[in-house]
Structure 1
């Protein structure tokens, strides 16, 4: 079989979306398949993403242990992180923090910013009161549900 015919068959296979083609001319035959490489890529991706997922619960467990001890000292309402990200007390580096310990806040006042996927998310107080404790250091990572502030 002529190489030009084989090249045209490969082009036909790519353009049509067909996974396999077999042509017989007399005693000669050609079989072209493209399903095997595609299926290998499909299995590689889930394995790649499963590794970070498996390692994520370990830090969450450590953070839960630390945060379980911290709120035991100050009593009051815990404001928790609504997402995973990086905790910032101020709107920009060198700027005055949104709140300090001992400051009174109203519901809706901005307490901090959590950066997640290059997006800055303002976290607001869900209750009025006085900030009794700030449980996270500026620039530190936070986990979903991790207590950040205690408001009394």
Structure 2
């Protein structure tokens, strides 16, 4: 893979909803990760929408929502939910685990790409809302956090 091909990959990821790309062949191992800006709020999302710009609304919706029982970690893309890095491995998180903003909570597989999903909120996992291997939609709640 040459520099032009890498630049093209970076541009494609930047223009897409993907947050991470892992590529590996015999000579090269490449990991590209897109940083996202998240605005956390202490008020319900319905109230946030009235005072924020559309870009901030979308980013806040991608990662977490405020609910009556706390926060939810939402799917930032459509894909297949996996609770652990492999079938034999322990899950990234279980009910009762504490997470921080950069804690990996699951993997979403989209188009044969495995994307590690970060909590992007701090708190305690109180409920896992999806089953291992389940297809999830963009914005679908995956975890409840308090």
Q: Indicate the SS of the match to 2:106.
A: strand
Q: Once superposed, which parts of structure 1, at least 4 consecutive aligned residues long, lie more than 4 Å away?
A: none
Partner residue, 1:150: 144
Change beyond 3 A, Cα 1:94–1:74 = farther
Unaligned runs of 5+ in 2: 1-64
Number of residue-to-residue matches in the alignment: 81
Q: How far off its partner does 1:75 sit?
A: 1.0
1:80 aligns with 2:74: yes
CA root-mean-square deviation: 1.7
Unaligned runs of 5+ in 1: 1-70
Distance 1:88 1:81 in 2: 12
TM-score (norm 1): 0.51
Q: How far off its partner does 1:106 sit?
A: 1.0
Whose helix proportion is higher, 1 or 2? 1
TM-score (norm 2): 0.53
What per-residue deviation string (whole Å, max 9, x for no partner) do you get for residues 41-79 of structure 1? xxxxxxxxxxxxxxxxxxxxxxxxxxxxxx9x9811011
Contact 1:74–1:150, Cα closer than 8 Å, also in 2? no
Q: How far off its partner does 1:128 sit?
A: 0.8
Contact 1:74–1:133, Cα closer than 8 Å, also in 2? no
Distance 1:79 1:146 in 2: 8
Partner residue, 1:133: 127
